Structure 1
């Protein structure tokens, strides 16, 4: 299986929902891992925490 090339991410030019994902990943200390290896490198527990925090923020706004 060929390794997929990761596109560089422009953290300043993201949709609000995407931006929230990256902000939460940063808060959880996972941003470096995501930027280096992609979202697929996260465990289900890590992605669940991010999803839970996104849902929590949506309920608050």
Structure 2
């Protein structure tokens, strides 16, 4: 799966490829991997996630941002 800016996209095929992304994007992918959604996203894209799965990722991202402050 290609992610990132259109001029300079990054290909994500394994969890190790996540380090090539900007910090915020890395965190999103790490959370998806924790929830067991990494393979689904690689195969079908982010649009294949259910509302519940997307909400879980967003909620965990928001909680992490609140902790940082």
Q: What band does the TM-score fall into relative to the shorter chain?
A: 0.7 to 0.9
Whether 1:18 and 2:12 are equivalent positions in the alignment is no
How far, CA to CA, are the matches of 1:24 and 1:55 in structure 2? 11
Gaps of 5+ in 2: 3-10
How far, CA to CA, are the matches of 2:46 and 2:62 in structure 1? 18
* Aligned pairs (5 A) from 1:23-38: 23-38=30-45
Give the number of aligned pairs.
56
Match of 1:47 among 43, 54, 57: 54
Q: Which has the higher strand share?
A: 2
Gaps of 5+ in 1: 1-5
Moved over 4 A (4+): none
